Amino acid sequence: MDIHEYQAKELLAGFGVPVPRGSVAYSPDQAVYAATELGGWHWAVKAQIHAGGRGKAGGVRLCRTYQDVAAATTALLGATLVTHQTGPAGKLVNRVYVEVAEPFVREIYLGLVLDRKAERIRVIASAEGGMDVEEILQTRPGSILQIEVEPAVGLQPFQAREIAFGLGLNLKQVSQAVQTILGCYRAFRDLDATMVEINPLVVTRDDRVLALDAKMSFDDNALFRRRQVAEMRDVQEEDPREASAGQHGLNYVGLAGDIGCIINGAGLAMATMDEIKHAGGEPANFLDVGGGASPERVQAAFNLVLSDPGVKAILVNIFAGINRCDWVAQGVVAAAKSLTLPLVVRLAGTNVDEGRRIVRESGLPIITADSLEEAAAKAVAAARGHAEAAGAAHGAVQ
User: Which residues does the annotation place in the binding site for ATP?
Assistant: 46, 53-55, 99, 102, 107
How many of the other CB atoms lie within 10 Å of CB of 370?
11
Binding site per annotation, positions for Mg(2+): 199, 213
> Which residue spans within 27-103 are E strands per DSSP?
43-47, 60-63, 80-81, 91-92, 96-100
If pLDDT is split at 50, 70 and 90, which confidence band does 220 have?
confident
Residue 394 has pLDDT above 60, yes or no: no
Q: How far from each other are the two terminal CA atoms of the chain, in whole angstroms?
A: 46
For residue 19, is pLDDT > 60? yes
What's the average model confidence in pLDDT over 200-228? 93
Annotation marks residue 135 as catalytic:
no
Residue 358 to residue 131: CA distance in whole angstroms: 57
Q: Left if phi > 0, otherwise alpha if psi is -120 to 50, otherwise beta: which for 147?
A: beta
The sign one gets for the Cα dihedral 94, 100, 106, 112 is negative
Catalytic residue among 5, 128, 197, 237: 197
In sequence order, the 6+-apart residues with CB closer than 8 A to the CB of 300 are 248, 250
Any catalytic annotation for residue 374? no
* SS3 of the chain: helix, strand, coil, percent, to 5: 40, 25, 35
Instruction: Name the DSSP letter for residue 56.
Output: T
| Predicted pLDDT at 328 | 85
Q: Is the pLDDT of residue 132 over 90?
A: no
C-alpha separations of 269 from 145, 276, 302, 332, 379 in Å: 37, 11, 15, 17, 15
- Give me the domains of the chain, ranges plus CATH numbers: 1-19+104-237 (3.30.470.20), 21-101 (3.30.1490.20), 240-396 (3.40.50.261)
Residue list for the binding site: 46, 53-55, 99, 102, 107, 199, 213, 264
Q: Give the whole-angstrom CA distance, residue 43 versus residue 387.
A: 53
Summarize pLDDT for 310-319 with one digit per residue, the tens: 999 999 998 8
pLDDT band at 231 (very low <50, low <70, confident <90, very high): very high
Determine which one of 6, 97, 109, 185 is catalytic: 109
Q: Which of 65, 147, 141, 145 is nearest to 101 (CA)?
A: 65
As annotated, the binding site for substrate includes 264
